[in-house]
Amino acid sequence: MMSAEGIAFILAILYLFFSTARHESTSISGITMSRSLISLSSSLANAWPVKRSTIIRSLWCGYDNRLKFSSSGRYEDPILPISRSHLNRFSTTKAEDESFYESTVKSALVMGSKMLIEGGAFEPELSACHLLSHVLQLQVSNGFYHMLQILENDKFAREIANREVTNSQMTIYKEFLQRRLKHEPIQYIIEEWDFYDFTLKCRAPVLCPRPETEELVEWVKEHIRQKIKNPSQNFRILDVGCGTGAIGLALARLFPQASVLAIDLSPEAVALSTENAKILNLLDDVLGSTRYQAILSSASSFKLDDDEPGFDFVVSNPPYIPPADMHTLTADVIEYESYDALCGGESSDGLDVVRDIINQLPEWTRRSVLGTGDLFMEVDPTQPIILQKSLGVCVDELAKSKSNVCFVQRRNDFNGKERFVRLKVQQWDK
């Protein structure tokens, strides 16, 4: 079954093929291409429960692999497909009448982009778009989209482009730009970020949600939908290492009959995910049962109470970066996000926390109401093969002698990296 991003990409290619066939003068440059993708993404966003920014991102990733990965394979933001020369050309021709452009959204955007480019900030244009959109109090994805349109000189954004930026807005914007010049992640500056089909509060040092984790949610969603046909069937999900609450909250929103318990060893993460659950009205449902709860615990020490039912599904985006790769992370990641959220432990393979989770899986799922013992995880692309070899594939007889947990499947992310694994308990000790 093809993912939403896969279908989106194919539709984009067809769209571009026909639009370039109709307009011979349309060149497939970054600019024209991205504009087509953005308009297409708007239509697609109306049809799917995925934010437009997610679709824009997946479309860009598909047509142009200009995605940056650290050597560990962790995804960073796509580079905006607007060329620097375009920006310079645009700003010199348009800056002739300074009085008109002085305090407009358009001039603020160009000024911010140039400042970030010159200061060596990461993803300068993308950053200026997000920061200004936030200062103008536009909705995260829509505002960002309008800012892109302005940078692309799109006539549809003319009204916003010519809006005045007030002095107080300009003061905040400049403060934001200064923070970005110090490589602070956009998510921490604007204190929120879109994930899946909702918005999460973000705060240092809790890990900012990443787009590939949305794919993990999609995978788990597909699996649960296949497994549970009765919509009133209650079940329990455990999210290990909840961070902002991204995965557990997305699943709680998707499955009203589920009860999600999230654990994290970081008090900041537990507090933030609880805050996010409250904003999303997921702390309690109308009948008073807990839809989402976050508690402070490490994977290795978390135990079920004696009378507590087991978990039917366990999901995790654990810290997984091998220690030797930590020095390759960019300043925005290593200086602001928690080390414990990133580094997978002292072992060279970065699998310490993953192994804690695997060791605990049989106990956590032993009293599963559905009799399932499924574990879905996001990992480093070097790790699926290590896990497959050490645990054994579930269908092989040999796997039984190796461990109580076996390897079911691996899955690639939208950039073709082996990013996700599914494991399961093959036997519970008597």
Ligand X SMILES: C[S@@+](CC[C@H](N)C(=O)[O-])C[C@H]1O[C@@H](n2cnc3c(N)ncnc32)[C@H](O)[C@@H]1O
Residue of the chain from 88, 298, 382, 412 that contacts ligand X (CB under 6 A): 298
319 forms part of the interface with ligand X (CB under 6 A) = yes
Q: Which lies closer to ligand X via its Cβ, residue 75 or residue 144?
A: 75
Write down the least CB distance from residue 319 to ligand X, Å: 5
* Segment 342 to 401, residues that bind ligand X, using CB under 6 A: 353, 356
The residue range among 1-9, 48-56, 87-95, 333-341 that interacts with ligand X, by the rule CB under 6 A, is 333-341
Q: Which of 224/246 has CB closer to ligand X? A: 246
Site for ligand X in 203-262 (CB under 6 A): 207, 209, 213, 240-244, 246-247
Candidate ranges 28-36, 149-157, 314-322, 323-331; the one touching ligand X (CB under 6 A): 314-322
Work out how close the CB of 248 gets to ligand X at its nearest, in angstroms, rounded to a whole number: 8
User: Which residue, 129 or 206, is less far from ligand X as judged by CB?
Assistant: 206
One of 8, 263, 314, 333 touching ligand X (CB under 6 A) = 263
Pick the closer one to ligand X by CB: 62 or 209. 209
* Residue 299 interacts with ligand X (CB under 6 A): yes or no: yes
Total site size for ligand X, rule CB under 6 A: 25
161 contributes a contact to ligand X by CB under 6 A: no
In three state form, how does the secondary structure of the chain look? Answer: CCCHHHHHHHHHHHHHHHHHHHCCCCCCCHHHHHHHHHHHHHHHHHHCCCCHHHHHHHHHHHHCCCEEECCCCCEEEECCCCCHHHHHHHHHHHCCCHHHHCCEHHHHHHHHHHHHHHCCCCCHHHHHHHHHHHHCCCCHHHHHHHHHHHHCCCHHHHHHHCCECCHHHHHHHHHHHHHHHCCCCHHHHHCEEEECCEEEECCCCCCCCCHHHHHHHHHHHHHHHHHCCCCCCCEEEEEECCCCCHHHHHHHHHCCCEEEEEEECCHHHHHHHHHHHHHCCCCECCCCCECEEEEECCCCCCCCCCCCCCCCEEEECCCCECHHHHHHCCHHHHCCCCHHHHECCCCCCCCHHHHHHHHHHHHHHCCCCCCCCEEEEECCCCHHHHHHHHHCECCCHHHHHHCCEEEEEEEECCCCCEEEEEEEECCCCC
Give whichever of 133 and 317 is closer to ligand X, judged by the CB atom: 317
- Judged by the rule CB under 6 A, the positions of this chain that interact with ligand X are 207, 209, 213, 240-244, 246-247, 263-266, 269, 298-299, 317-319, 338, 340-341, 353, 356
